[in-house]
Structure formats: structure tokens, C-alpha cells
């Protein structure tokens, strides 16, 4: 789900963001491979051959124009992009080349498959969940809007990432649960349980970020963007990531427990506060096993390439060095602080359910 949100944010940026880029990238389409030149200059040691593709430009001032574009094929196959006839591509237009305007192929255009993937997700969600599926899509859109229009601009303007992420998490949790359940006791209990879990996870991450002396630059590549990050509180980004990253899982747990206890109360009006709490703890215990795994495996999956690099170099670095890589330490913090948020949400939601449902025993409609 986290990667899907990132994809939606990218679409938001393309669709609604202002395009002030001096560089010009255009859509094109491969018509056919015209020729292959294997007589490469000796200075081009890494290039195996040059392929000449006939390309149709689909955007810009030269729209519908057919041109020939050179495309290098490297000896190291991992560097090469596989291009096929009829494939849509991304062209870079160089207006300042000494020989005049020149086009380069930078990548295959991935937007078409992305749109199909998102469309399939939306279709299956609505098909399987019906009206609740529609509500889920609406709530997801609202959350993405909150992240794009509040969270990211807030951090870019220099506000505290922890404060902004906490506000966005609370707003997203409340909005999502309200859309899904309406203004009901079940929804209120779920919101409060989720808030407690997320805030606790954020507090844990803040404390251990300080104890582990994080700089905020978890990868070497991130150091290349220091000039873009001036005025931004980089050290707080790890904690902000924990707050937002755990929000979805904590909401899921609190909503599941609140919903289950609501049904239990409706079926047995005489159940006591203590019995309701114990039932919530038992239900939460069953949920925790899979949900904690889900959250930790999600972080492992998102950083799989980095983990693979570390594994391949395990004989070069001792464990003391590996565990002190900031990228590794920050992932450990995200995974376990978020999981602690889930654990806290279980007793809080169970306890709040007992408080909210203890008084009235003859009004099922208010539940």
C-alpha cells in the first residue's frame, strides 16, 4: 500500500504540479530498428554498439514527426533498456546541441502500465467491496491529497516533519474512518485507538532517533541532494516516516477490534466492560501476529536491494559495522517502532470500547 501511495503522489505531481523544468521530456514511439552500428570509436570502451531507431514524436512542436535516434547498447547488459517496435518511450529534447535540436531516448514510458495497474486496483476494490470499496477509494484519495498538499509542502517550508506528520496522521485517520463508518461509536473508538498507537510509535521513534544519533541521510545518494534540502529538518524525517508508515497498519488493527467488539456488544447487551476488554485483547492477539509481520516485511520488501547488498558483503563487514549503517538502523527503527504502535493500539482500543459501550444496554442503533 505504501508503494501505491507513492505512485498516486507521482501522478498527482504530474497532473497538478507546475512544470517549470528547463529540460524538455516528450513522449515518443518506436516504429522500427533501422540499423546497428558496431564500428564504435575506441574511446567508447563501455559501448558495444549503436542502434538507430526510427521514432515518431508524439508531443511538442515536432509532434507526428518521424526522426532517427541513436541509442547506445552497453557491454554490461544490466545498463541496457530493452526496446521493442511499437513501444512508447520518453525522449529528451536537447535544444542547445551544437548541431541543432537533438533527441535522445531516456527510458521506456511506464505511465501506460501504471495507469492500467491503478485501474485494475480500483476496479477490483469496487467489484469485491461494492459501496465500501468506493468509500475506500475516496478515503485513499483524501489521504494522498493530505500528503501532497499538506505534508510535503509543510516539510519543504521548514516546519517540523514530526509535527506535520502527526497532524496529517491524525487528520488522515479521522477522515478515513469517518468515511468508512460514519459518525458512530465504532468509528470514534477506532480513531482514538489509532491515534494512541501512532502517537506512541512517533514518540518511540523520536527517542531512539536521538539515542542512535541519526543524521537523516540514510543513503550515500541522499548526500547528493543536500542543496535541495536546505531549511528542512532532515533529522526528523525518520520519525515522520514512522508516523506515516505505521498509520495504515494501526488504523487497520484499531478498526478491526472496534468493529468486532461492536458486533459482540450488539449480540450480547449484558456483556461487562471487563469481558469486552478481554475479548478485544484476544482478538487483538490474533491480529498482531500477522499484522506485525506485514509491517516488518513491508519495510524489508521496500529496501530489498539494500538488504541484498549487505548480505553479499557480509564477509567484508562485521556485524557491528552492518548494524551501524544508518540505512539499516533507520529501517530497524521504522519496522519495530511501527510494530510497537500496533501493539499499543490493541489494549487502548479494547479499553475504550469498554468505556463507550458500558452504559447503554438497550440501544443497538447507536452502536
Task: Name the residue ranges covered by the structural domains of the chain.
Answer: 2-109, 131-357
Which of 70, 81, 65 lies closest to 103 in space, CA to CA? Answer: 70
Q: Which residues of the chain fall short of a pLDDT of 70?
A: 1-22, 39-45, 97-99, 218-225, 358-367
Rounded to whole angstroms, the Cα distance separating 248 from 251 reads 5
Is the whole model's pTM more than 0.95, yes or no? no
Helix (H, G, I), strand (E, B) or coil at 98: coil
Q: How far apart are CA 199 and CA 242, in angstroms?
A: 10
Architecture of domain 2-109: Beta Barrel (2.40)
C-alpha cell at 101: 535540436
Q: Which three cell numbers stand for residue 54?
A: 526510427
What is the DSSP track for 324-361? Answer: TSHHHHHHHHHHHHHHHHHHHHHHHHHHHHHHHHSS-S
φ and ψ at 54, to 5 degrees?
Answer: -85, 120
What whole-number distance in Å separates Cα of residue 181 and Cα of residue 175?
10
Report d(CA 257, CA 276) in Å as an integer.
Answer: 11
Predicted confidence at residue 364, as pLDDT, reads 45
Residue-level pLDDT at 1: 47
**Predicted pLDDT of residue 153:** 92
The confidence score (pLDDT) of residue 47 equals 84
The rounded distance, in Å, linking the Cα atoms of 296 and 15 is: 32
Amino acid at each position: 500500500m505504501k508503494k501505491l501511495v507513492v505512485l498516486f503522489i507521482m501522478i498527482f505531481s504530474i497532473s497538478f504540479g507546475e512544470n517549470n523544468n528547463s529540460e524538455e521530456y516528450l513522449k515518443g514511439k518506436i516504429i522500427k530498428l533501422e540499423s546497428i552500428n558496431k564500428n564504435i570509436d575506441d574511446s567508447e570502451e563501455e559501448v558495444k554498439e549503436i542502434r538507430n531507431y526510427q521514432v515518431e514524436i508524439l508531443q511538442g512542436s515536432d509532434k507526428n514527426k518521424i526522426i532517427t535516434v541513436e541509442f547506445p547498447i552497453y557491454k554490461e547488459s544490466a545498463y541496457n533498456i530493452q526496446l521493442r517496435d511499437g513501444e512508447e518511450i520518453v525522449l529528451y529534447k536537447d535544444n542547445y546541441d551544437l548541431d541543432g535540436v537533438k533527441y535522445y531516448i531516456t527510458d521506456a514510458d511506464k505511465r501506460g502500465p501504471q495507469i492500467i495497474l491503478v485501474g485494475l486496483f480500483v476496479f477490483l476494490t469496487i467489484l469485491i467491496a461494492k459501496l465500501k470499496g468506493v468509500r475506500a477509494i475516496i478515503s485513499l484519495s483524501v489521504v494522498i491529497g493530505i500528503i501532497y498538499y499538506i505534508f510535503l509542502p509543510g516539510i519543504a517550508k521548514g516546519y517540523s516533519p514530526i509535527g506535520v506528520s502527526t497532524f496529517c496522521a491524525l487528520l488522515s485517520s479521522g477522515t478515513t474512518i469517518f468515511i468508512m463508518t460514519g459518525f458512530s461509536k465504532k468509528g470514534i473508538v477506532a480513531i482514538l485507538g489509532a491515534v494512541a498507537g501512532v502517537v506512541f510509535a512517533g514518540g518511540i521513534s523520536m527517542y531512539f532517533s536521538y539515542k542512535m544519533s541519526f543524521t537523516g541521510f540514510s543513503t550515500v545518494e541522499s548526500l547528493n541532494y543536500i542543496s535541495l534540502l536546505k531549511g528542512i529538518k532532515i533529522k526528523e524525517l525518520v520519525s515522520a516516516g514512522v508516523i506515516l508508515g505505521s498509520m495504515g497498519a494501526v488504523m487497520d488493527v484499531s478498526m478491526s477490534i472496534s468493529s468486532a467488539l461492536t458486533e459482540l456488544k450488539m449480540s450480547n447487551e449484558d456483556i461487562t466492560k471487563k469481558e469486552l476488554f478481554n475479548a478485544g485483547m484476544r482478538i487483538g492477539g490474533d491480529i498482531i501476529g500477522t499484522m506485525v509481520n506485514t509491517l516488518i516485511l513491508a519495510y524489508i520488501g521496500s529496501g530489498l536491494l539494500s538488504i541484498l547488498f549487505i548480505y553479499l558483503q557480509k564477509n567484508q563487514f562485521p556485524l557491528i559495522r552492518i548494524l551501524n549503517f544508518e540505512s539499516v538502523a533507520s529501517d530497524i527503527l521504522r519496522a519495530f517502532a511501527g510494530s510497537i504502535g500496533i501493539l499499543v493500539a490493541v489494549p487502548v482500543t479494547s479499553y475504550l470500547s469498554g468505556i463507550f459501550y458500558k452504559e447503554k444496554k438497550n440501544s443497538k442503533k447507536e452502536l
